[in-house]
Every structure is written in structure tokens, then in C-alpha cells.
Amino acid sequence: VCDGLGLGHNSRAALVTRGLAEMSRLGVACGARPATFMGLSGLGDLTLTCAGDLSRNRQVGLRLGRGESLETITRSLGMVAEGVKTTAAVHALALRLGIDAPITAAVHCILYEKRPPHEALRSLMNRDLREE
């Protein structure tokens, strides 16, 4: 979505970094080892999903950022972008466990509440600052 909105590499890096922290919080709350998220199944998969041109999830994000509707994107994609349905499940899990997951919530708003991506991004950027 960052790339589709025309934001720079620093924005993408910030979002990926915060996304990894969010994934780790949720995973640890479910019993995962924190180190798992620094390996191939965590950071490796996240990097590929966010930057790989063949990633279906990346294609969905790019096109949403450019203003296309989810319905148009999924109809024309011809393949499943697993992140679309996974977002709903992860959002529900985070809420149930009381885990702070602002990126998941923002993506959920874009996908399921038709919130414009630039508005979802603004809500993330307006969060109170806190120590990393």
C-alpha cells in the first residue's frame, strides 16, 4: 500500500519494521518463540511479501494504494492473495487476546470497511509516540 500511495523506501521500511514487531507480539502471545520472527518464517517471509514483485499480497496492496477497489483486484488477480482473508482472522485474534495491532487494524479497515488507504495511514502516523 505504501508503494501504491507513492511513499518512499523509508516509509516502507518503517512499516515493515513496525509490522514485524506487531507480528512478534501476537505470535508470542500465542506461544511462539520470539526468535522465530527473526528467521525465514518471520522476517524472511515478510520481506518477500512486501518487496517481491511476484507476491500476490504485494500486488493487492499496490493496487489498493493506487485507488482500485478490493473487488476489482480480487476478480482480476486470478489467484488467491491469502493476506486478504488472513487479515480478518488476525484482527479478530488480536482483539480477542487484547494485543495492540494497529497495522492489522488499519489493513482491516482498508479491506473490510472500505477506508481509503491514505486515511488508514494517517491514523497510524497520528498514534502517540512511545519508546521502541
The CATH code of the domain that includes 86 is: 1.10.1040.10
Over range 25-36, report the average pLDDT. 96
DSSP symbol at 37: G
Q: Which residues of 14-37 are buried (b: 16+ CB within 10 A; e: fewer)?
A: ebbeebbebbbbbbeeeeeeeeeb
State if pTM tops 0.75: yes
Our count of domains for the chain comes to: 1
Residue 127 confidence class, pLDDT cut points 50, 70, 90:
confident
Output the pLDDT for position 126.
87
**Domain range spanning residue 119?**
9-125
Residue at 1 is within a domain: no
What is the average per-residue pLDDT within 5-16?
Answer: 93
Q: State the average pLDDT over residues 85-107.
A: 97
pLDDT of 132: 64
